[in-house]
Structure 1
């Protein structure tokens, strides 16, 4: 898989990472650990699922996936809290 394919397919992994983190939270994972789990899942996806052919490339893509999932969750949570407080 070349880098562009990894980028395109990787975008689809962000919601999957979000769903897995949410599942873990509902089964008892403390909220403070969800960003760490998100990054770990992103790293695992980048290295093992996307198979970019280069370990460092997989790590960079995986970090981007995990951090994107964390930011998406955080942004959605902040918007939800802002709407509820009005």
Structure 2
């Protein structure tokens, strides 16, 4: 089952999405990739069942999307404050 230290997968997903963006992925597709990667991690890394893996993967992918957009918004806010 999902343990609290497994939440470290979220920054891994964020980093993988960033690598894809550097390789040419359009920014508008990054949330979809994050959710897809989250589902893959959920099914293959955390899976005790497919349904549970997909649910955990959705949470991971959506969390990674939120982490990226939240940190991006904070960085943009700091630049405008200067």
User: Structure 2 unaligned runs (5+)?
Assistant: none
More divergent stretch after superposition (8-17 vs 73-82): 8-17
1:11 is aligned to 2:7: yes
Within the candidate set 13, 20, 25, 2:16 is matched to 20
**CA RMSD, aligned part only?**
1.0
Q: TM-score, normalised to structure 1's length?
A: 0.89
Runs of 4+, deviation exceeding 4 Å = none
Within the candidate set 41, 65, 72, 2:67 is matched to 72
Q: TM-score, normalised to structure 2's length?
A: 0.93
User: Structure 1 unaligned runs (5+)?
Assistant: none
